[in-house]
Structure 1
Amino acid sequence: MEHADLIVIGGGQSGLATAALAPRYGFTRVLVLESAKEPGGAWPRYYDSLTLFSPARYSALPGMRFPGNPDRYPRRDDVVAYLRTYAGRLSASIRPSTTVTSVTRKGGVWRVRSKDGREFTAAAVVAATGDFGAPFLPEIPGRTEFGGRVLHAADYRSPHVFAGQRVIVVGGGNSAIQIAAELGPLASTTLATRRPVAWTPQRPLGRDLHWWLKHTRFDIAPIRRLLAKIPVSVIDDGTCRSALDRHGVDRRAMFNAFTTDGVLWADGTHEPVETAVFATGYRPAFGYLTGSGALDGTGAPLHHGGLSTMVEGLGFVGMEFQRSFSSKTLRGVGRDAAWLLHRLSAVRR
């Protein structure tokens, strides 16, 4: 059994930022438990062409700038390389290929068990696994009878395998738009959404949106409940929008049902379809905390700003709108981690 001052579950951007800041708050022995073969979280598994909509200067974790032109928009592989380098500089001990199955607390000590039978103990635990491990597919009538392919954006990699097909992309966020835009030249593609796509210019008045978010302090405004009600908006410099138009990618109201060979549109029209790609987000993935008292009936954490309101010595980092608009981003996880570590250190003392 291995003991630490702090155990961080998850070696993605949130977990690495937490591990980097932990020594400042008195956690000298830090363990990071990562289920994958190397740190990096979900980034290595995102689709090939994924491009950040925040410039490199606004995409860094605490203590290490993002390399290259600060005004460029990094791609997936840029982020993977950045996180790999970042992890290599940490004083924390990282345990790859360590899938956590249970986390329990007894006598003021947390006991963490992994799938392969190893056990770890600590005074405090931070759950930084995010939600990528639980892709959300909405229940749509006829899905099980549909003879085509249904996949989530988490399993999408590149457009080439769909060349010549009739494809529907479901969703109105940045990922859905990027995927539909790159499918357009190769496949007959339609974007299906519940409401019209909302567009936000990437460079209003000649400045990147994130410059405005920083200088208005909206990026860090502690208005989580209000922010959670803001409709999903696609940040675009015009590239994706023009690509959709150029390649004939139309937008339609969400279809009502699958059939054996296609979909039934809201107007009653049946159309044969070969593939449906759902870019419909994710749900909390904290199954290892089941039975700890830290989760509600839906499996979501009960917390205030990331600090568990139910169990002492437990926190969360990397959840959407956890404390602010930027909580689930490379630029925002460090702020949330610092806030949480300060409070966990006080409890520990």
Structure 2
Amino acid sequence: MSGSCEVVVVGGGQAGLAAGYYLRRAGLDHVILDAQSQPGGAWRHGWDSLRLFSPALYSPLPGWGMPGQDGEDFPSAGHVVDYLRAYEQRYDLAVRRPVRVREVRPTGAHLQVQTNAGVWSARYVISATGTWQCPYLPDVPGREEFTGRQLHTVDYASPAEFRGQRVVIVGGGNSGAQILADVSQVAEFTWVTRRPPRFMPDDVDGRVLFDVAARKASGAGGGVSELGDIVMVPSVRDARERGVLHARPMIARLSAHGVCWADGSEQPCDAVIWCTGFRPDLAHLAPLLPGWRHGTAPTDGTRSTEEPRLYLLGYGDWTGSASATLVGAGRTAKATVADISARLAG
């Protein structure tokens, strides 16, 4: 496969589909290249109990809202996957899969998108690959020495595999709290965080978070971080009722059979779950972004300041307020496609 078009979108998750919706509305010739074998993006790989932070009503992609899920205030990952699949079909989006983009290179007036299935040439490229493929592990001494099991959020599926074990969960964000809520029901657990966990009020969900982030972007208030780090979804509220939401300070190192703190105390464990976040999946853009080193890339809105024919969509607040959420991806995609349309018309 190969071809030439005005816009190539790299990634067919929520941000890529939002871009496709607006590109189709704008009448721009485009293709969406997705490395996944099926629709759903990163939501296909979440753990069994993973939930959205917002009710379905407040988690729409552009054009068509997410239907509610029977019996659930906060939709499951599987429900989100079904929604993304139906969304793709509803708008007949131009997704080709599985196509893995190896790199994007400048070639005169165009960008060349090299894949395992051929080469595409485009006037503009929208990168929407997200972060799930790039889990971050902190450089904690002794990680190579530890003889137990180590896994990241991306590897976690359900608490059943830890039944009766001693488990250390590292990380004070939403994934750490939700996985703690799971594992604490079946295992002996310890939760460690770099700073004391900050829980948001019970009535704060993704809708409130986006509104706060939008006001911050307009200079009209403080940011989401002022509210806390952890959304109190039902499983986390249940963990609070069970009295298990207590964290110890961050470990200093791992030993062969456990974890150690700065005061020299040691605790044996069978497994460590690193809920320590992600980095943007931008390796395919290395020829365009020579200064990129596994972090963010400089942008003006979503447009790269190093390569003006490249847009970065859905990676976090540095590519638009709340752009890594469903509703935020739609709003930043709209501005991105409007900018591309104006430049093509010019």
Please report the TM-score for the alignment, with normalisation by the length of structure 1: 0.90
Letter in 1 for 2:58: Y
Per-residue CA deviation, residues 32-57 of structure 1 (Å, 9 max, x unaligned), is: 11111012211100111101121111
| Aligned-pair CA distance for 1:325 | 4.1
Identity %: 35
Residue 231 of structure 2 is matched in structure 1 by 235
Distance 2:100 2:327 in 1: 26
Contact persistence 1:167–1:276 (CA under 8 A): yes
Q: 1:125 to 1:324 in 2, by over 3 A?
A: closer
Aligned position for 1:283:
279
Residue aligning to 2:24: 23
Q: Does 1:341 align with 2:342?
A: no
- Describe the shift of the 1:210–1:147 C-alpha distance in structure 2 as closer, same or farther (beyond 3 A): closer
Residue 112 of structure 1 is matched in structure 2 by 113
Residue 158 of structure 1 corresponds to which residue in structure 2? Answer: 158
Whether contact under 8 Å (1:19, 1:92) holds in the other structure is: yes
CA contact (8 A) 1:321 1:328 kept: yes
* Other-structure match for 1:270: 266
The partner residue of 2:298 within 302, 323, 331 is 302
AA aligned opposite 2:195: R
Q: Which has the larger displacement, 331-340 or 290-299?
A: 290-299
Q: Corresponding residue for 1:255?
A: 251
**Contact 2:69–2:79 (8 Å) recurs in 1:** no
Q: 1:30–1:262: structure 2 CA closer, same or farther, 3 Å change rule?
A: same
Per the alignment, residue 87 of structure 1 pairs with 88
Paired residues in the alignment total: 341
Q: Offset at 1:251?
A: 1.4
Deviation, structure 1 residue 190: 1.2
- 1:73-104 deviation line (CA, Å, top 9, x unaligned): 10110001101111112333211111100101
Give the drift of 1:65: 1.1
Q: Name the aligned partner's letter for residue 78 of structure 1.
A: H
Which residue, 209, 217, 223 being the options, matches 1:223?
217
Output the CA distance in 2 between the equivalents of 1:311 and 1:90.
Answer: 30
- 1:187 pairs with 2:187: yes
Contact 2:289 2:297 in 1 (8 A): no
Sort the Cα spacing of 1:43 and 1:92 in 2 relative to 1 into closer, same or farther, 3 A: same
Mapped contact 2:302–2:320 kept (Cα < 8 A): no
Partners in 1 of 2:137 and 2:80 — Cα distance?
26
Q: Distance in 2 between matches of 1:170 and 1:194?
A: 9
Report if the CA contact (8 A) 1:22-1:341 is conserved.
yes
SS in 2 for 1:172: coil
Report the Cα distance in structure 2 between the residues aligned to 1:76 and 1:176, rounded to whole angstroms. 17
CA distance in structure 2 between the aligned counterparts of 1:254 and 1:245, rounded to whole angstroms: 24
1:132-166: per-residue Cα shift (whole Å, max 9, x none)? 11000001101001000111001100000010000
How far 1:319 moved relative to its partner?
A: 1.5
Residue 239 of structure 1: how far off its partner (Å): 4.7
Contact 2:299 2:319 survives alignment (8 Å): no
Residue 42 of structure 1 corresponds to 42
Which has the higher mean CA deviation after the structures are superposed, 332-341 or 285-294? 285-294
Summarize deviations over 1:285-314 as a string: whole Å, max 9, x none: 111111213653445322111111121221
> C-alpha offsets along residues 157-199 of structure 1, whole Å, 9 cap, x if unaligned?
0000010000011011111111001111100011100111101
The answer as to whether partners of 2:200 and 2:228 remain within 8 angstroms in 1 is no
**Equivalent position of 1:103 in the other structure:** 104
Letter in 2 for 1:338: K
The equivalent of 2:312 in structure 1 is 316
Is contact 1:184-1:244 (8 Å) kept?
no
> What TM-score does the superposition give when structure 2 sets the normalisation length?
0.91
Cα-to-partner distance string for 1:208-248 (whole Å, 9 max, x where unaligned) = 5455456xx43423539974875851111575244256264
What is the CA–CA distance in structure 1 between the aligned matches of 2:138 and 2:209, rounded to whole Å?
32
1:123-142 to structure 2, matched below 5 A, reads 123-142=123-142
| RMSD of aligned Cα (Å) | 2.3
> What CA distance in whole angstroms lies between the structure 2 residues aligned with 1:9 and 1:212?
30
CA distance in 1, matches of 2:293, 2:67: 43
Report the residue type matching 1:131 in the other structure.
T
The DSSP-based 3-state class of the residue aligned with 1:167 is strand
- Name stretches of at least 5 consecutive residues in structure 2 with no aligned partner: none
Provide the rounded CA distance (Å) in 2 between the counterparts of 1:211 and 1:171: 24
Runs (4+) of structure 1 exceeding 6 A deviation are none
Larger deviation, residues 283-292 vs 137-146: 283-292
